[in-house]
C-alpha cells in the first residue's frame, strides 16, 4: 500500500508541478503583455503631450497676432480721430473768420447744443 501511495503522491506531485509551471508561463505572458500595454500608453501620452504643446503654441501665436492687430487698429483710429478733430477745428476757425465775431458766437452757441 505504501508503494501505491507513494506512486499516487508522486504522480500528484508531478501534476501539481506541471500546473505550477503552466501558471508561471501564463503569469509571465500576462506580465509581459501588461508591460507592453504600459509602454504603448507611455508613447501615446508623450505624443498627446507633444500635440497639446504644439496646439498651445499655435493658439498663443494666433492670440498674439490678434492682439497686435487690435493695437494697430486702435492706434490708427486714434490718429484718424485726431486728424479729424484738427480738420474740424481748422474749418471752425475759418468759418469764424469768414462770418465775423457776432455770427461766430451764434455758431458756437448752436454747436454747444
Question: What pLDDT, in 10s, does the model give residues 22-41?
Answer: 999 999 999 999 999 999 99
Closest CA to 106 of 98, 97, 96: 96
Is 80 exceeded by the pLDDT of residue 112?
A: no
Cα angle vertex 39, ends 33, 45, to 5°? 135
CB 62 within 8 A of CB 70: no
| Mean pLDDT value across residues 6-34 | 94
The distance of Cα 98 from the centroid of its chain, to the nearest Å, equals 63
Separation between Cα atoms, residue 35 and residue 44, nearest integer Å: 14
104 within 8 A of 96, measured Cβ to Cβ: yes
- Whether this prediction's pTM lies above 0.85 is answered by no
Amino acid at each position: 500500500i505504501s508503494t501505491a501511495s507513494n506512486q499516487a503522491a508522486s504522480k500528484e506531485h508531478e501534476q501539481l508541478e506541471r500546473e505550477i509551471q503552466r501558471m508561471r508561463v501564463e503569469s509571465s505572458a500576462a506580465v509581459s503583455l501588461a508591460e507592453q500595454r504600459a509602454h504603448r500608453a507611455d508613447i501615446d501620452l508623450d505624443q498627446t503631450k507633444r500635440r497639446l504643446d504644439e496646439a498651445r503654441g499655435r493658439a498663443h501665436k494666433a492670440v498674439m497676432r490678434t492682439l497686435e492687430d487690435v493695437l494697430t487698429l486702435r492706434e490708427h483710429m486714434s490718429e484718424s480721430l485726431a486728424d479729424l478733430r484738427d480738420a474740424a477745428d481748422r474749418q471752425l476757425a475759418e468759418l469764424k473768420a469768414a462770418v465775423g465775431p457776432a455770427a461766430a458766437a451764434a455758431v458756437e452757441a448752436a454747436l454747444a447744443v
